[in-house]
Amino acid sequence: MDQGQAHIEQAIARLNHFADGWMPGEGPRAKSLDTPAKSPEDALVEALERINAPQAKGLLDPLQSSREEFDAFVRRVRELVSYYAVIETTSDGAVIARTLVGWTGDFKSLWRRDLTPEQVRLHERNVRAALARRAVLIRLMSVISASAAKIALRLATPGAQLLVLPALWQFIRDVIEELRRAEAQGAR
């Protein structure tokens, strides 16, 4: 698992923890990393309290960019449903292989003539990594959906699940950024 996927997995775990424990009017239970900035959990609580407020509609602007990003994320996940993966490997600027993985898990691979064993291994690794990334992406969509459903049940606002989704997306972003910041500071 590469670092990016590891960050997403950690963000997923924190979202699960939050969704299981949070109730309206309560503060976050999960503790953020040691940082003076507002934690992702704190920011999510604020967003959810805004959604839960009767006058919430006019106060959702902070989530506008998150909503647009989440829309784009949904479109990306939809692509996976249309065609799970198209994986291309290049070596020295030339394409050496392309693999299409269809919805039923069938593979179609096109390889350059005169392949070397090293090039085969390179594409094999590339395919494996790409499929692993897609698995994480699908899991992220599943967890965001499940968390939105759980949280929306505790909110008084009708249709809250659709308002919650961008807030959860923002939370995932915030956690990833926090982890990256922490790693950058640790590397200094």
Subset of 142-181 contacting other proteins (CB under 8 A): 142-143, 145-146, 148-149, 152, 159, 161-162, 165-166, 173, 176-177
CA 185 to CA 188: how far, in whole Å?
5
Identify the CA nearest to 150 among candidates 31, 21, 29.
Answer: 21
CA distances from 152 to 65, 85, 139 (A): 21, 32, 20
Candidate segments 1-9, 16-24, 44-52, 56-64, binder of other proteins by CB under 8 A: 1-9
Site for other proteins contains 138 (CB under 8 A): yes
Site for other proteins contains 83 (CB under 8 A): yes
The residue from 21, 37, 57, 109 that contacts other proteins (CB under 8 A) is: 109
Site for other proteins contains 4 (CB under 8 A): yes
Candidate segments 14-22, 29-37, 39-47, 132-140, binder of other proteins by CB under 8 A: 132-140
Widest CA span in the chain: 67
Give every CB contact of residue 66 below 8 A, 6+ residues apart in sequence: 166, 167, 169, 170, 173
Q: Closer CB to other proteins, residue 25 or residue 94?
A: 94
